[in-house]
Amino acid sequence: MTLNQVIRALGTAIGVALAASPVMAQTSVSPLRVLSTATTDTIDVPIDRAIVIETARPVGELSIANPRIADVAVLGDQNLYVLGRATGRTTLTLIDERGDLLANIEIAVTPDVSEFKERLREILPGEPIEVRTANDGLVLSGAVSGARQVARAVELANRYAPDAVTSLLTVGGTQQVLLEVQFAEMQRTVAKQLGASLAGIGPGNNQIGTRTLIQGNNLNNILTNQPVTLAQNQLGAALLGFQSGSFTLNLLLEALETKGLVRTLAEPNVVAISGQEATFLAGGEYPLPTIANNQNGVAQVEVQYKPFGVELGFIPTVIDSDLINLQVRTAVSAVDPNISITVNGATVNGFTVRRAQTTVEMRDGESFAIAGLIQDDFTDTKNAIPWLGDVPILGALFRSAAFQREQTELVIVITPHLVSPTDGSTLSLPTDRVRIPNEFELFLNGQVEGSAEVARIANQAFEGEYGYVIE
C-alpha cells in the first residue's frame, strides 16, 4: 500500500466518525414524522346498520379508534365491513401492504332516519318536514299546516330518539282567530191577581175587615168619604161602599194582570292570536268593602271591585289549516238588591250569575250554541178570612189570590273565524263621516251635524270588505 492510499483511508475513517458523533446528529432531520393530522373522508353509518367499503389498494392493516361506536371486519384485500354500534364519531385508519398510510376515515354513526322519514310521509302526507341528525338526537324543521301536526311529528320522533328531539317546526297559515259571539237573553214576567177585600165600621167605631182596607188611615177616610189608599198602588181595582145608619161597609174588588218582556243582546267581536287569551266585559264593576289589618294591626276598610255584566274569555288554538280548538268561558251577571248583607253599617248586594265554561273543536265559520240556561220562578199567594174564604163561590168575596211567574232564558252563539289584518287606510270609523256644525247650522237651524254629511251618510250604501278579512 502506498502512502497516498494510507492517507485516503485515514481521511475516510475520520469522516465516518465525525458523521456518527452527537454534535452532527443534532443537525440532521428528526426521525419522527406525522403522516396525516386530519381525516381524508367521512362516512355516515346508521346505527345497527352496516355498509361495505372498497379501497383503491389492498389493505394490510387497519385500526378503529373506538370499537364501541363502530365495528370493522375484513371481507377481502380491498373490501371492509363497517357496522354502526352506537351514535358518535370515531376514526378508521388503513395501512397498505407496504406499510404506507392508505386512508384516515371518519365514521359518523347516526340514528336511522330512513324509516322515520317513511313513517312521517305516511302519517303526515304533504307536510314539508326536514329531518336532520345532531349528535345522538334528531332535529325537525319546516313549516307545517297546524299545531296538531307539530305534536304528531315530535311524538313520532321521540320513538326513534327518546328525549333527544329538537323541534324547529313552525306553523304556517293564519294564526289569528276572530270570535264572533252573540248573547241573547229573554225575560218574561206574568202576574195575575183576583180577590176581594172588606172593611166595615159599626156602632162604636168597631172595625172589621181585611188588611188591605184596614191599614193606614183608610178607615178614617171611609168615614169621611175621602179616597182610600190601596196597597202598593194597585191598578185594576174598584171600591164599592154601602152605608146604612151607623154601619158602613166597603168592598174592594181586584182583578189585575201584568205582563212584561225584556230582550237583552250583546254582540262582541274579539280577536286573539293562537294560544293567547282574550277577554271582554260589557257591564261594570261593583265595589265590595272588605276589612283587613294593616302592618300595625289596625283594622282598615279596603274596597275591591267585582265585575258584572256580560263577560267573555277564550283561548283559541289553531291545530289544523282550518280546525280551531276553543277554550271558552262566559258569564252573565247582575246586581241583585234582594240578596244583601250589612257589614258595619254598609249594605252589600249580592249577584245573580249564569256561567258556562267549555272546550270545543270546530272549523272556520262553524257555530255552536250554549243554551239551556233557563230560570223559571213561580210564586202564588192567597189571603182569606177564615172559614168565610173557603165557602164555594161566595167565598171569593172574602179572599184574594195572586200568582207571579218569571221566566228567563239565555242563549250564547259563538262563531270563530280565521282572519288576517287588513290595510288601515281602507278602514273608516263612524266619526270619520260626521262633520261638526257651524254656528249658523247649530244656533239657527238647530242641527247637531253638518247637513251635507247627514244626507251623504243616509244615502250611502255599505258594500265591500271592511274590518278583518275573513278567509
Q: Are residues 343 and 426 in the same domain?
A: yes
CA-based torsion, 218, 223, 226, 227: positive or negative: positive
Torsion (CA) 313, 315, 321, 323 in degrees, nearest 10: -70
Hey, what long-range contacts does 393-396 have (CB within 8 A, 24 or more apart)? 396/194, 396/195, 396/196
Whether residue 295 is contained in a domain is answered as yes
- Whether residue 389 sits in one domain with residue 358: yes
Residues 366 and 389 in one domain: yes
Query: Is residue 317 in some structural domain?
Result: yes
65 & 133 share domain: no
pLDDT of 327: 92
Main-chain dihedrals φ then ψ at residue 361, nearest 5 degrees = -125, 130
Q: Which of 110, 126, 157 is the last residue of a domain?
A: 110
Among 110, 127, 143, the domain-final residue is 110
Average pLDDT of the chain is 75
Q: Return the higher-pLDDT residue of 256 and 437.
A: 437
Q: Tell me whether residue 442 is in a domain.
A: yes
Q: Look at residues 212, 233, 252 and tell me which one is the last residue of a structural domain.
A: 252
Q: For residue 286, which of 342, 338, 333 has the smallest C-alpha distance?
A: 333
Total tally of structural domains belonging to the chain: 4
Residues 96, 184, single domain; the answer is no
Low-confidence winner among 17-26, 45-54, 187-196, 366-375 (lowest mean pLDDT): 17-26
Verify that 76 and 97 share a domain, yes or no.
Answer: yes
Q: Quote the cell numbers at residue 386.
A: 177564615
Q: Check residues 391 and 48 and name the one with the higher pLDDT.
A: 48
Please indicate, yes or no, if residue 167 is contained in any of the structural domains. Answer: yes
Q: Are residues 74 and 47 in the same domain?
A: yes
Query: Given its phi and psi angles, is residue 354 left (phi above 0), alpha (psi -120 to 50 degrees) or beta?
Result: beta
Mean pLDDT along residues 75-99: 86
**Do 192 and 272 have their domain in common?**
yes
Q: Look at the block and give the residue holding cell 252589600.
A: 348
Domain-embedded: residue 278? yes
Domain annotation covers residue 9: no
Residue 351 and residue 334 in contact, taking contact as beta carbons nearer than 8 Å: yes
Q: What is the pLDDT of residues 102-142, one digit of tens each?
A: 888 888 888 778 888 888 888 888 888 888 887 778 888 88
| pLDDT at position 27 | 46
In a domain, 5, yes or no: no
In this predicted structure, what is the pLDDT of residue 125?
Answer: 86
Give the C-alpha separation, 228 to 133, whole Å: 97
Which of 80-94, 170-184, 222-236 shows the lowest mean pLDDT across its residues?
222-236
pLDDT at 302 over 50: yes
Q: CATH number, domain at 167?
A: 3.30.1340
Cβ proximity of 81 and 16 under 8 Å: no
Residue 6 has pLDDT above 50, yes or no: no
SS3 241: strand
| Shared-domain flag, residues 262 and 124 | no
Are 180 and 141 in a shared domain?
A: no
What residues make up the domain containing 245?
Answer: 197-252
Residue 281 within a domain: yes
Element (H, E) at 209: strand 207-209
* pLDDT above 50 (res 146): yes
* Same domain assignment for residues 293 and 357: yes
pLDDT of residue 12: 53
User: What are the angstrom distances between the C-alpha of 12 and each of 3, 186, 398?
Assistant: 15, 128, 161
Q: pLDDT tens for residues 364-389? A: 888 888 887 777 778 887 777 677 66
pLDDT tens digits for range 212-267: 544 444 555 555 555 555 555 455 566 666 666 667 676 666 676 777 776 777 88
Quick one: CA torsion of 434, 436, 441, 444, rounded to 10 degrees? 130
pTM beyond 0.75, yes or no: no
158 and 280 share one domain: no
CATH number at residue 101: 2.60.40.1080
